[in-house]
Structure 1
Amino acid sequence: MGNFDDIPITSPDSDRFGFDPFASAISDCIHSIENPLGSVVAIYGPWGSGKSSVINLVRHYLAKDAPDLDVINFPAWMYRTEDALAVGFFKELYAGLSPVLSDQTKAAGALRKLGANLAGASSLAGMAVGLFAGSVGEKATTATLDALGGFIEQGEAAEDLQATLADALREAGKKFLVVIDDLDRLSPEEALVIFRLVKSVGRLPNVMYLLAYDREATEQAVARRFPSEGAHYLEKIIQAGFELPQPDQSHLNVMMGEVLNGLAADLPEIDPVEFGNLFHSIVAPELKTPRDVFRLANTISITITPIKSDVFFPDFVSLETLRVFRPAVYRAIRQNKSAILNAGQNDRYDQRETRSAQYTSMLLRSESEEDHEHLRDALMRLFPQLQNVFANMSYSGTREWARQRRVCSAEHFDTYFRFSVSPKTIPKAELDYLIDDTRTVKEIQDRVREAVSITQAEGRTKASYILDELTAHGLNISLDQGEKLLSALFGMADELFLEQDEGRGFASFGNNRLRLHWLLRSILLDRTTLHERTEILTRSIVGATLQWHLDISNDAWQDYHPSNPDSEPSSEAETLTTHVAAERLQARSLELLRAAAASDTILSAKTPARLLYDWDRLQPYGAGEVMDYITRALGDDTKLCQLASAFLGKSYSHGMGGFGGAPGDLVQRENDRAQVDGIDRLLDVDEFRRRLNEALGSDGLDEQQKSTISRFLVAWERRDAGED
């Protein structure tokens, strides 16, 4: 099974499906025929059911128990036209019988002429050349031209030729078995040629035939060709027929299980119950013959290679099973991603029956109705959301699906159908690199900085997907490596606050600031004491950027002093630090803000407005530090432009369309917005406006700076007019 080769077995030791006793019985049957007269034995079985293996086992037993029996093999599948089949049949028959006929020239000639006679005049020359141009095992050395001359002789009837041949075979006293396998590979018309040839050669003494074919398909072909005779046509040819025993399902399951165990050997341990449920509901029902096992094994062994670590192995095996055996269902899943993944969001029980019918039609339209029940069960195991449709259960989703890289998670669905990692996530190898305990802070930062410059799905950076993936696996990251990760990301946080990763409008998907908060909580909460996470957070925030230090210190403070008076302080299990540590963080934030103002870097930061409001919030009441700083800044045209840019934000609108079915916007519209609520706490509003208008005529600003000021003033006026 190492190479998953679909090669028939040749000895009883290799039998995995219980064919050996069956083959032994057929061997006994053939061996027991004392005076065969063109006797025909048939083995019936569908394509891929193991007929060739049984024939090999029959030959094994005949070689042991009937050494006086010569086996003549006719590989019918090698001859792909009716003329070629006729030539090949007599070619192999002549090669097999010639040893006992070589001393009887008349009988040997009778066989050659009988072949030419039965092949028909239209193929006479080809027949002659084909018979004597050489064949496997042929010992005759008659020249081609001499043979052709013999064929052309007239006046010898087929009955006379056959009688001459029969006398010679009877006197020889040796038995022959002509084995014709792989009739399944022939077209119906080609298979019928074989039956006609066997029937035409007729009752040759000491000659037997062993045929293997799909009985149902062959009888249908005969019925089309000979409608008046139908199955009776074959009954006149076959003396004994044996139905190939159906392999025990457990044998097929065990063989497939061995293949899957080998492929999964280097993967993390998989819950055997979870895998078993998927295997027995999706994989096992499709394994009906040994060839089914080989076919699926070969497929999975190839397709799993590029994404082996990036999928949930049981899900991948299940989907590949559907792709091989139920391609229409596979396509329906691929084409209806949104409907499937969002199936759990509708909890209207009064619509359950209607939705079940809709989803059944959408996913199982191609399948017979008798298969619908077990296929619905299979799909609910792959996509638990569908339990909301097909069962009386609401199941919208869990983060565990993303951690396991299940196909039912939106982040990883595409990986299973692209055979490459979905653009909505990152390869597991990259995740493993970041959470490897041997990684340094610098190595982590270098890898994330590289990801900042790479754009993936929805226009987001790869860095944003790294944050998502780390958050999903937060519980699996060691606390030591978690602290290292937090220190690395906190130290470059400003580089991660990117506009393209901001969610907005109907396409909102959060932002990297929120993702950092989610990551922080996924690593620390639920598995540390308040003291432990206080220590970790205090150490990891030492090198944090200014804005991120403010975010964390404010978050820690809000745990004890919610800004919403109606909210209660957080419980200890949800609190980031002790109250004392939160106070220290607030004090440290104020120090950092004062230092940024003193170095004139506060207005050039990414979010200067937020820094100014935080500074105002943290300074002692009545100190007026921010007002004093901005008053001085208003006298500098460059700083004035920086202030205008700081308070110039964006809003997004989406036209919904008019009455009567008028179409709305398909994309969002971006608008300038003056973010000036509470600005009077920071500066003299009238003086700020006066200086902005004055600066528009200044020679000290370039056109881009003036454009920023103009846009801010227009947006402010629009806001004052209630048009924002």
Structure 2
Amino acid sequence: MARIQGDRPLAGDGKDELGFGPTAERLAEALASGTSSDGLVVGVTGKWGSGKSSLINLTQAALRRRVPANRPHVVEFKPWLVGDRDALLQGMFAELVSGIDQIELEAGNATGFTLRKTERATTALREFAGLLGGVGKVVKAGGAWIPWLGGIGGLLEDFFRWMANGKSKSLTSSKKKVCDRLAKLKRALVVVIDDVDRLDPAEIVEVLRLVRSVADFPNITYVLSYDQEIVSHAVLATAKVKDGHAYIEKIVQITLPVPIPEAFDLRRWFERELWAMDFPATTEVQQRIGEIIDYEGGRYLLTPRSVVRTLDSIRFYWTVLNDLVDLSDFIWLQFVKVGNPTLYEWITVYLTEMSACASGRSTIPEHQKAKARISLDAALKREDATFGDVCSRLADHLPGISHYHTEPEGGIYERVDQREMERAIGARRLASPDHYRLYFAFAQPTNAPRVSDFIDLTSALSQSADQAEELLRQWQGQRLTSGVTRAEVMLDRLSANGLASPTPGEAKHLLMAYANVMDDLGERSVNDFGGPDVWRRAMRSLPVLFEALGDQRKAVVRQMFTEGTALLWLTSIFRHETFAHGRHGDRPDSDRLLTSDELDVVTEVMLARYKAMSLSDFTASSRPLSMLFAWQQGGDDHGPRTLLANGVESDEGLISVLEHLCGRVHTATPTSVREIVTLSRSNISSLVDYEQSRARITALAENATDEVLRAKAKTLLRSFEDGDRF
């Protein structure tokens, strides 16, 4: 992985990715040959991050490569290192003095710095500086002593003391002396003041005033780099003028805009640097990244600095995330973070809320969806885009985003298909509720499975079904802040390829653990239509586990349904497959777990188990109706009816059987959910004589002498009536 470059401009000898070299060479030529006898101020202008400092550095390098006879002396003044106005003045003149000293040194004329030689340019310049900015302060720049040649610091102190005694000349005569002496210099000076736009507004104006005060010094060219809009705004705010641009034009005679790089060049530069990091990427991922570079790169790589910052962000994060997240999503997010920070912040909130929805612990109310859409539109407006323009791009990386949506509302927080979420989890995508937080905070969400959980599971599966069963029970007892249990979360991840390529032995151990523990886990799980949620999560992992069994598959399926103690869960699978294969009902489902031969085995085993059960075995179960239906739907229509007919002969038996045949309907209001217990014709008529049973209950509700029996009959009668309505 290449080193982070940071927000540093290109050095004079650095690699010129964007072809600034020819511009720098020609600018250097112009500076060397075109210095005005009255001084000159040149502005190198460009937006923040456009490469102004890099162009300045390349230009200085080009100047220094020139032959001595045609090489101006370059002085760099860095005003952001200096404090107040006086310090700016001091620093500026200190740099000029140092530059002039260097010119005279190179000319072999730097000895004998005495007060008697006041004609010397340095002496005249110090005198002028003292008049401008305060006697004796020019010997310091930013609080540090200037390392003058030949011990000149002490002589300067004497000089300023001499000035303080009233022997200084007027400002005009002093400036004339400076100009006369500078005009005699054998080489010109180029004073570079870079990054003027980085200063505070008041400091920007002070620098401009300072340059204006010395702009007509002969043999000196000032090169300022700045963002025209930022500096103009600072002038308006601080100098209280009507036109900031006009103010700047009075000081800067010539401007050179930084060449605007071609968007294609910026993207190809980014691409070269990216793949130089040697990422392990499949052909599919490389293709996705290519699309991201072309599309998001076109939107966000607007300056050289944006290229460098995006690459540095990738280098910084990827060193610790390289095997934890999807590379294409990661690169896409770095583009957004650098190019549109407001959109990046919106994405962090959106993914947090979508993760809560995926866990089942939260729903997004409509007013919140509307508010989020308004915030998203505002973030996109910053880059002159609309949701309709970019929704398909967002949908490639974020969950619940419509791929095509042109309406002013909606298009976000849409329902995510379970299989789609499982694919995101398995691929560690940004849309994964288990992995999204890694992209932002180096850490998984608190409710996501831990690495240690998968290690524990692998260890248990390598040992026995009993060990796996014990681990599942342990996890079911750990309820997370999301409201679900660790077992439910882990079962979700197993269905999303969380258990990579299990061996036949591991698959068998987990399947047998399911067959023994699922009823107990279901008792402590959220229940809704179709059974406990934990059952459905486990069923989604069955295709992978069955596939891993290989030649053992049919034998293990038989063992599961023969020996498994979780009869209710096994019943739910049996019923699912009976319908899926079209053996009951008229809507066969292609999404089958078992082959036809395997279903034959399961049918034989399960019918035998039902026939061996007594009525009390059924009524002792929490879901007797499901097993009775499975018995019938499996092909034995008379077995359940015969068993129940014997049970309802007495009034007590009738009430007991009907209590266990009740169904449940949930109705919701804005403030609560109500459970209604029903006895509907569609549910029980295939098991008992509906008309006769209802008539007997009606009579018992009116005439039973036993108060307990009469009360139960009245409750069942209400269930019959509710069954008519629901």
**Taking structure 1 as the reference length, what is the TM-score of the superposition?**
0.73
Q: Distance in 2 between matches of 1:712 and 1:297?
A: 74
Task: State which of 576, 601, 615 in structure 1 corresponds to 2:594.
Answer: 576
Aligned to 1:326: 340
Closer, same or farther: CA 160–380 of 1 in aligned 2, 3 Å: same
Cα 1:210/1:362, change in 2 over 3 Å: closer
Does residue 522 of structure 2 align to residue 497 of structure 1? yes
Residue matched to 2:534: 512
Q: State the Cα distance separating 1:54 from its structure 2 match.
A: 1.8
User: What corresponds to 2:358 in structure 1?
Assistant: none
8 Å CA contact retained: 1:96, 1:137: no
CA gap 1:242/1:109 in 2 versus in 1, 3 angstroms: same
Note if contact 2:461-2:468 (Cα within 8 Å) is conserved in structure 1: no
Structure 1 distance, partners of 2:423, 2:574, is: 29
- Measured after TM superposition, the shift of residue 18 of structure 1 is 1.2
Cα displacement (A) at 1:183: 0.8
- Please name the residue that 2:60 is paired with: 59
1:453 aligns with 2:470: no
Q: Separation in 1 of the partners of 2:589 and 2:22?
A: 73
User: Matches of residues 300-379 of structure 1 in structure 2 within 5 Å?
Assistant: 300=314, 312-330=326-344, 363-365=376-378, 371-372=384-385, 376-379=388-391
Whether 1:158 aligns to 2:171 is yes
SS at match of 1:65: coil
Q: Mapping of 1:36-75 within 5 angstroms?
A: 37-67=38-68, 69-75=72-78
Specify every segment of 5 or more residues in structure 2 that has no aligned partner in the other structure, as ranges. Answer: 105-109, 356-369
Report the counterpart of residue 586 of structure 1 in structure 2.
603
* Shift in alpha-carbon separation, 1:634–1:425, aligned structure 2, 3 A: farther
Q: 3-state DSSP class of the match of 2:569?
A: helix
Structure 2 counterpart SS, 1:7: coil
**Which residue identity lines up with residue 95 of structure 1 in the other structure?**
S
Checking the alignment, whether the CA contact within 8 Å between 2:628 and 2:640 is kept in structure 1 is no
For residue 296 of structure 1, give the secondary structure of its aligned residue in structure 2: helix
Aligned residues: 667
CA shift, 1:134, in A, is 0.3
Is 1:85 matched up with 2:88? yes
Q: CA 1:617–1:173 in structure 2 vs 1: closer, same or farther (change >3 Å)?
A: closer
Following superposition, the deviation at residue 476 of structure 1 comes to 8.2
Residue 549 (1) aligns with residue 585 (2): no
Determine the C-alpha separation between the residues in 2 that align with 1:35 and 1:614: 100
Residue of structure 2 in register with 1:668 after alignment? 673
Equivalent of residue 135 in structure 1, options 137, 146, 162: 146
Post-superposition shift, 1:562?
Answer: 3.0
Counterpart for residue 30 of structure 1: 31
Provide the residue aligned with 2:716 in structure 1: 716
Task: After TM superposition, give the deviation of residue 156 of structure 1 in Å.
Answer: 0.7
Is the CA contact 2:558–2:601 (under 8 Å) kept in the aligned structure 1?
Answer: no
Name whichever of 241-250 and 581-590 sits farther off.
Answer: 581-590
Query: Hey, what's the Cα distance between the residues in 2 that align with 1:710 and 1:407?
Result: 60
Amino acid at match of 2:483: G
Name the counterpart of 1:17: 18
Q: Does 2:270 match 1:248?
A: no
What do the CA deviations read for 1:325-351 (whole angstroms, capped 9, x no partner)?
A: 33444556667789999xxxxxxxxxx
Same amino acid, percent of matched pairs: 21
Counterparts in 2 of 1:189 and 1:250: CA distance versus 1, 3 Å: same
Tell me how far 1:114 sits from its aligned partner. 1.2
Contact 1:69 1:177 in 2 (8 A): yes
Cα displacement string for residues 568-603 of structure 1 (whole angstroms, at most 9, x for unaligned residues): 6667x8472334x434323323554577769x9876
Which residue identity does 1:511 align to in structure 2?
A: D
Residues in 2 aligned to 1:317 and 1:654: alpha-carbon distance in whole angstroms: 44
1:111 deviates by: 2.2
Q: How far apart in 1 are the matches of 2:49 and 2:415?
A: 42
- After superposition, the C-alpha distances for 1:234-260 in whole angstroms (9 at most, x for unaligned) are 445435432211123233223433565
Q: Cα distance, 1:186 vs. partner?
A: 0.9
- Matched ranges for 1:254-265 at <5 A: 254-257=268-271, 260-261=274-275, 265=279
Where structure 1 has 5 or more consecutive residues not aligned to the other structure, the ranges are 342-356, 656-664, 698-708
Q: Name the aligned partner's letter for residue 389 of structure 1.
A: H
2:488 to 459, 464, 476: 464
Deviation at 1:15, TM superposition (A): 1.5
Q: Structure 1 residue 404 and structure 2 residue 421: aligned? A: no
Query: How has the CA–CA distance of structure 1 residues 125 and 403 changed in structure 2, closer, same or farther, with 3 Å as cutoff?
Result: same
- Structure 1 pair 623–43 and aligned structure 2 pair: CA distance change class (3 A): closer
Deviation at 1:214, TM superposition (A): 1.6
Letter aligned with residue 175 of structure 2: Q
Task: Give the conservation status (yes or no) of the 8 Å contact 2:40–2:216.
Answer: yes
Q: Do the aligned partners of 1:44 and 1:244 also contact (CA within 8 Å) in 2?
A: yes
Question: Any idea what SS the aligned residue of 1:40 has?
Answer: strand
Say whether residues 1:180 and 2:167 are aligned partners.
Answer: no
Letter in 2 for 1:103: G
Check conservation: 2:437, 2:445, Cα contact below 8 A: yes
Q: Deviations over 1:272-292 (max 9, x none)?
A: 333333333233311111211
Q: Relative to 1, partners in 2 of residues 1:611 and 1:112: Cα closer, same or farther, differing over 3 Å?
A: same
Conservation of the 8 A alpha-carbon contact between 2:469 and 2:513: yes
**Relative to structure 2, which stretch is displaced further, 54-63 or 266-275?**
266-275
- Cα distance, 1:560–1:294 mapped onto 2, change above 3 Å: closer
1:290 maps to a residue whose letter is P
**Which secondary structure state, in structure 2, belongs to the residue aligned with residue 140 of structure 1?**
helix
Preserved CA contact (<8 Å) 1:650 1:671: yes
CA distance in 2 between counterparts of 1:539 and 1:474 reads 25
> 1:217-256 alignment to 2 at 5 Å?
217-222=230-235, 225=239, 227=241, 231-256=245-270
Q: 1:553 to 1:317 in 2, by over 3 A?
A: same
2:648, 2:654 within 8 Å by CA — same for their partners in 1? no
CA offsets 1:625-663 (integer angstroms, 9 cap, x no match): 95699799999xxx99999996677543323xxxxxxxx
- Letter matched to residue 146 of structure 2: S
Deviation at 1:27, TM superposition (A): 1.8
The letter of the residue matching 2:162 is: G
3-state SS of paired residue (1:196): helix
The alpha-carbon distance between structure 1 residues 93 and 696, as it changes in their structure 2 partners (threshold 3 A), is: farther
Are the equivalent residues in 1 in contact too, given 2:648–2:657 (CA < 8 A)? no
2: CA distance, partners of 1:217 / 1:543: 78
Distance 1:136 1:628, change over 3 A: farther
> What secondary structure is seen at the aligned counterpart in 1 of 2:594?
coil
CA distance in 2, matches of 1:513, 1:712: 32
The 5 A counterparts of 1:117-132 are 117-119=131-133, 124=135
Asked if the contact 1:70–1:175 (Cα under 8 Å) also holds between the matched residues in 2, the reply is yes
| Offset, 1:403 | 0.6
1:706 match: none
The residue that corresponds to 1:389 in the other structure is 405
SS in 2 for 1:390: coil
Aligned residue number for residue 203 of structure 2: 190
- Aligned-partner residue type, residue 257 of structure 2: E
Q: In the alignment, which residue of structure 2 is the partner of 1:351? A: none
3-state SS, counterpart of residue 292 of structure 1: helix
Q: Which residue of 2 aligns with 1:702?
A: none
CA–CA distance in structure 2, aligned partners of residues 57 and 640 of structure 1: 97
Summarize deviations over 1:273-317 as a string: whole Å, max 9, x none: 333333332333111112112333444555678876665443444
User: How many Å separate the matches in 1 of 2:654 and 2:147?
Assistant: 97
CA deviations 1:381-422 (Å, max 9, x no partner) are 22275344239xx99876346413598968579758975545
Are the equivalent residues in 1 in contact too, given 2:42–2:253 (CA < 8 A)?
yes
SS at match of 2:73: strand
Conservation of the 8 A alpha-carbon contact between 1:379 and 1:386: yes
Residue 43 of structure 1 contacts residue 244 of structure 1 at CA under 8 Å; is this kept in 2? yes
Contact map agreement 1:281 1:377 (CA 8 A) in 2: no
Q: Residues 289 and 712 from structure 1, CA distance in 2 versus in 1: closer, same or farther, beyond 3 angstroms?
A: farther
Give the conservation status (yes or no) of the 8 Å contact 1:654–1:668.
yes
CA distances 1:128-162 after superposition (whole Å, capped 9, x unpaired): 66588503677632278545423424351123223
1:431/1:469 contact within 8 Å kept: no
